[in-house]
Amino acid sequence: MAEISEAHDSDSSKSTDNASEAPTQPESEPEFNPKLMRKTKPGLKRLFLTFSVLFSFLLGLQFLWKSVEIYRSPLPFREIDSLSTQLGSDHLIFPLHFHALFVGFDSDPDRLRLSILSEITKLTSQNPKCSHNYTLSVTVDSGSHCLHSPTTSPHSCSYQCGSITAIDFDQNDDVAIDERLVPVFGGKTNEYSVVVVKGESERAVVGKNRRAWVVVGSGREVEIAVVKVAEVLVKVFVNGGREEGSIRNEFMPVGADGRIVLSFNLLNADPRDWVYDWDFRKIDNNLLAPMIEALGPVANISVESQVLYHTPKASFSYWDQQLQSYVFSTKDLPFFVNSNEWHLDTSIAAGGRSKILQFVVYVPSAKECPLLLQLPNGEISNTNGFISPMWGGVIVWNPQGCLKDDNKPTARRTIPMQDLENMFEVFTGQFRQLFGFKSVNIYAGASGVWNLLPSERGFTEWELDVLSRQHTCFNLHSCASTLGSLSRLVQSLPRMIIMDEIGKQVKFSLEAAKLAQSNASNGVYESSAASSRQARSLAEDAFFHPSIMSVSYYSFEHCFAVYSL
């Protein structure tokens, strides 16, 4: 039995080995089912879905593009470049028409004209930005007849022969002579006229209008008269009595927006001694209003006033036994204004680019009264005041009887009106100095001394012409420079937002600049000054627009980081 079972086991193991050695049969693939096969081509449904997805993508792309688009109002870059090129290559030319009248002379008017033009050429200095185009006409009134030099000027004077004689200039009333010359030369014309007469007492006077007259003695009266006429035409009527020239880059305390704020301050150093007030309204109506109206084309001027207390000065003074007063010198002027105690900048009417001029009436305390200003030559100042360029002026007013031993508190007092008028006359002179004119009514030239008649408005007509020409020249170049900087800034930053308001400001600025150029070339000085002021103000507003100021410091990397998140 045992042998039979072993044989059976060996047979079964062999069969198992044979089965493992037999090759494996591959699995049968599933048969193709024709029922599941698509028998027709794709219809419109798939095409519609495809185009719907594509349309949605394109529509979303437009919305995405609009959401990140930067709005830029179109700017007239060509006109801006044209204005800068025009002012840079071609000088701004102001036409000036002169007329010289010789009364009681028998000279040839043509020779006089050539001699005066030769002297004018010697005195004229070239300006790199603005220049003048001179025309001169000469009339010789011998008493019996008149001779005129040929001129191409359309503004030739309509002088009637025999209208004035040398007798009219014998009187010493220069104001009456000035008024007498107004109707003789055609009233309000833009022509500058100089009258030369013979007389015993030599003198030279410049009137309030555009007229001047010279009285020459016997001898070389013709040669002297030619030099004097050329000097008054160039040095006074053109340059305004300044040695620097007729036009400078920085010459007037006017803000970039064309505004000036005149801030008048009455400072009581120690109200325990006395308290003073003033009637500022009368001064504003009687003295300041005419001057502000006269300067209207040059600047938009507003006035404010205030009274402050406990305002001691920052400098020291010493007692002068000889003068019986306290004295402070010109060396102490930089320390006189006490910026810690004098809270003067309280104006809410002045914008960020307006210019504020401070005019201070300082009432000293009883401990240093009277307080006088000593000049470098040792003399006491007649005005007892001083100016600080581009800041304003200060006047020290000493109350009457301040040396009396009376330290008791007193009631509020008012500064006498006569003292106020005298102080504001000094303020007017300081204001003229801030504009570059002299506070004294005398011009000392190479040919002699000229007496300048003052105007009730603070500025004469020929002085206003000088300011208008200078203001026009400076504003137009400043406008072109500002617009040019804006153009380069906008083109260098393609991601900068340019609002419609900026585009309108640039457009109106260019229009005002063109109008100013046209008025200047036609000799309309007041209109050219007003237009140039508007052009500069609009250019400054466009360049310093809040949207531009925020983007000018906005980097492209920041924009990329925002949209990549």
Could you tell me if residue 251 is inside a domain? no
Same domain, 284 and 223: no
Question: For 525, phi and psi rounded to 5 degrees?
Answer: -70, -40
Could you tell me if residue 171 is inside a domain? yes
Q: What is the mean pLDDT of the chain?
A: 80
The predicted structure's pLDDT at residue 550: 61
Rounded to whole angstroms, the maximal C-alpha distance in the chain is 184
Mean predicted confidence (pLDDT) in 332-359 = 76
The predicted structure's pLDDT at residue 5: 43
Could you tell me if residue 478 is inside a domain? yes
SS3 of the chain: helix, strand, coil, percent, to 5: 40, 20, 40
Domain that holds residue 383: 259-435
The predicted structure's pLDDT at residue 33: 67
Picking from 420, 454, 488, the residue at the C-terminal end of a domain is 454
Sign of the alpha-carbon torsion through 408, 414, 418, 422: positive
**Are 181 and 211 a contacting pair, CB within 8 Å?**
yes
Same domain, 381 and 480: no
Could you tell me if residue 306 is inside a domain? yes
Question: Does the pLDDT value for residue 67 go beyond 80?
Answer: no
Could you tell me if residue 513 is inside a domain? yes
E strand or H helix at 149: none
Q: Which of 47-56, 365-374, 379-388 has the lowest mean pLDDT?
A: 47-56
pLDDT tens per residue across span 153-179: 555 556 777 778 878 787 778 888 888
pLDDT tens per residue across span 108-153: 889 999 999 998 888 887 666 788 888 898 988 877 778 888 765 5
Q: Is the peptide bond before 30 cis (omega within 30 degrees of 0)?
A: no
Same domain, 161 and 274: no
pLDDT tens per residue across span 418-440: 989 999 999 988 888 888 888 78
More reliable by pLDDT, 376 or 564: 376
Mean predicted confidence (pLDDT) in 343-368 = 79
Same domain, 363 and 273: yes
Same domain, 496 and 370: no
The predicted structure's pLDDT at residue 22: 46
Question: Does the pLDDT value for residue 269 go beyond 50?
Answer: yes
Picking from 454, 482, 512, the residue at the C-terminal end of a domain is 454
- C-alpha angle with apex 63: 60 to 68, nearest 5 degrees? 125
pLDDT tens per residue across span 461-510: 999 999 999 899 899 999 999 999 999 988 887 777 788 898 899 999 99
The predicted structure's pLDDT at residue 564: 61
Could you tell me if residue 56 is inside a domain? no
pLDDT tens per residue across span 207-242: 998 899 898 877 677 888 899 999 999 999 988 887
238 burial level (CB within 10 Å; 0-12, 13-18, 19+): buried
Q: Which of 4-18, 245-259, 270-284, 482-496 has the lowest mean pLDDT?
A: 4-18
Mean predicted confidence (pLDDT) in 58-87 = 77
The predicted structure's pLDDT at residue 529: 92
Fill in the amino acid letter for 88.
G
pLDDT tens per residue across span 303-325: 988 898 988 888 888 888 888 88
Pairing between β-strand 448-452 and β-strand 442-445 as defined by DSSP bridges: antiparallel
Q: Which of 61-65, 379-383, 553-557 has the highest mean pLDDT?
A: 379-383
**High-pLDDT (> 70) share of the chain, %:** 80
Question: Does the pLDDT value for residue 6 go beyond 80?
Answer: no
Same domain, 426 and 279: yes
Same domain, 219 and 288: no
Q: Provide long-range contacts, Cβ within 8 A and 24+ apart, for 456-460.
A: 456/290, 457/290, 457/291, 457/293, 457/294, 458/290, 458/291, 458/294, 458/428, 458/431, 458/432, 459/291, 459/294, 459/295, 459/432, 460/207, 460/208, 460/209
Same domain, 266 and 197: no
**Are 149 and 109 a contacting pair, CB within 8 Å?**
yes
Model confidence at 1, in pLDDT bands (50, 70, 90)? very low
The predicted structure's pLDDT at residue 509: 93
- Distance, in Å, from the CA atom of 494 to the CA atom of 506, rounded to the nearest integer, reads 18
Same domain, 423 and 447: no
Model confidence at 516, in pLDDT bands (50, 70, 90)? very high
Model confidence at 555, in pLDDT bands (50, 70, 90)? low
Beta-carbon contacts of residue 163 (< 8 Å; ≥ 6 apart): 184
Mean predicted confidence (pLDDT) in 392-400 = 89
The predicted structure's pLDDT at residue 3: 44
Question: Does the pLDDT value for residue 557 go beyond 90?
Answer: no
Same domain, 395 and 446: no
Could you tell me if residue 416 is inside a domain? yes
**Are 401 and 263 a contacting pair, CB within 8 Å?**
no
Same domain, 449 and 429: no
Could you tell me if residue 287 is inside a domain? yes
Same domain, 279 and 389: yes
- Distance, in Å, from the CA atom of 148 to the CA atom of 52, rounded to the nearest integer, reads 92
**Are 434 and 390 a contacting pair, CB within 8 Å?**
yes
**Are 449 and 507 a contacting pair, CB within 8 Å?**
no
Number of domains in the chain: 3
Model confidence at 534, in pLDDT bands (50, 70, 90)? very high
